[in-house]
Amino acid sequence: MPVGLVDHFNIGIADSQAEETLRFYQEVLGLKQGFRPDFGRPGWWLYAGEHPVLHISVRKVPPNQGPTGSFDHIALVATDWSEMKARLEKHKVAWREQRVAGNAAALQVFFKDCNGLTIELDYFDRKEA
């Protein structure tokens, strides 16, 4: 079976990180909290449109504000770079852009979430970039 596109990513956080993490992904990336099955432990699913792209699990771990182990980054297809740029600036999130010759994405934007995880947004519409 061939591998498809990323369905979702999951981050495990300490209970003390929940409020800041939810605020970051909802206010900065514009994801919306939605239905999550009862797994018998606390957590949230955040949706991009109708799809739950981010699963957040509360675990008994110390708060993490740095290294994310082997998990380097998550890449998401995005649109409307001007709106996202305004959100990042509003929330004082440092970002960098990269344009790679021969890459399908016209523009790649990288920044860290509030837990130290790198987010990559890929913009494919050359008019936007």
127: confidence class by pLDDT, cuts 50, 70, 90: low
CATH superfamily of 9-123: 2,3-Dihydroxybiphenyl 1,2-Dioxygenase, domain 1 (3.10.180.10)
Q: Taking the domains of the chain in order of start, what are their residue ranges?
A: 9-123
Short-list 30, 19, 126, 34, CA closest to 76: 30
Q: pLDDT class for 24, splitting at 50, 70, 90?
A: very high
pLDDT tens sequence across 99-116? 876 666 578 898 998 888
**Any residues with CB less than 8 A from the CB of 127 and at least 6 apart, and which?**
none
Higher-scoring residue by pLDDT: 105, 97? 97
**Side chain identity at residue 59, one-letter code:** R
pTM of the model: 0.77
> What DSSP string runs through 47-60?
EETTEEEEEEEE-S
Tokens describing residue 29: 């990336």
Pairing of strands 95-98, 107-112: antiparallel
Helix residue spans in 1-129 (DSSP H): 18-23, 81-90
